[in-house]
C-alpha cells in the first residue's frame, strides 16, 4: 500500500476515534421538562466520571438514578467528589426520564444546605 494512502487511512481512523466520545453522548430529549420533580434521599452510590456524574438515591421506596453534570462542570461549581459521596443527603430538582423509570437528570442539587446548579 502506498505511503500516502496509509497516512490518509491513519488520519481518518484518528478522526473517528476523536469523535467517539461525542458520538456516544446522548441528548436530553428523553426527559419530561414539562413536569419538574424533586427527589430527596441519602446517596447510596456515586460515579464521578465522564460523560456525567451519576448518583443512586433511595426515594419513597424506590432507587433513583440521577444524572448530574460532567465532572468538569461539577468542579467549576465547587460540587466536587466530596459533595456526592455516599451517605450525604441530596435533594435533586430536575426531570424524570420518559424512557426509564426511576431515572432523572438534575438541573440543580442541594447537599448540606448548599445548592449547586448543574447547567
CA 10, 11, 15, 16 dihedral sign is: negative
Query: For residue 78, is the peptide bond before it cis, meaning its omega torsion is within 30 degrees of 0?
Result: no
CATH of the domain at 107: 2.40.50.140
Q: Is the pTM of this model over 0.85?
A: no
- pLDDT, one tens digit per residue, over 39-69 is 999 999 999 999 999 999 999 999 999 999 9
Q: Is residue 113 part of a domain?
A: yes
**What is the pLDDT at residue 119?**
86
**Domain presence at residue 59:** yes
* Tally of domains within the chain: 1
| Mean pLDDT, rounded, for 95-119 | 96
Residue 19 lies in a domain: no
| Residue 5 falls inside a structural domain | no
pLDDT in tens, 1-28: 666 665 644 556 544 444 444 444 455 5
Q: Which long-range contacts (CB under 8 A, 24 or more apart) does 78-82 make?
A: 78/116, 79/109, 79/111, 79/116, 81/46, 81/48
Domain that holds residue 87: 30-117
Mean pLDDT over the full length of the chain = 85
CA distance 103 to 113: 23
Amino acid at each position: 500500500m502506498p505511503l500516502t494512502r496509509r497516512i490518509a487511512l491513519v488520519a481518518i481512523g484518528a478522526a473517528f476515534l476523536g469523535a467517539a466520545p461525542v458520538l456516544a453522548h446522548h441528548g436530553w430529549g428523553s426527559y419530561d421538562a414539562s413536569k419538574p420533580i424533586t427527589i430527596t434521599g441519602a446517596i447510596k452510590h456515586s460515579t464521578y466520571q465522564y460523560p456525567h456524574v451519576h448518583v443512586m438515591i433511595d426515594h419513597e421506596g424506590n432507587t433513583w438514578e440521577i444524572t448530574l453534570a460532567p465532572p468538569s462542570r461539577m468542579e467549576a461549581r465547587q460540587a466536587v467528589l466530596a459533595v456526592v459521596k455516599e451517605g450525604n443527603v441530596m435533594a435533586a430538582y430536575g426531570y424524570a426520564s420518559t424512557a426509564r423509570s426511576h431515572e432523572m437528570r438534575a438541573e440543580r442539587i442541594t447537599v448540606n444546605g448548599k445548592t449547586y446548579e448543574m447547567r
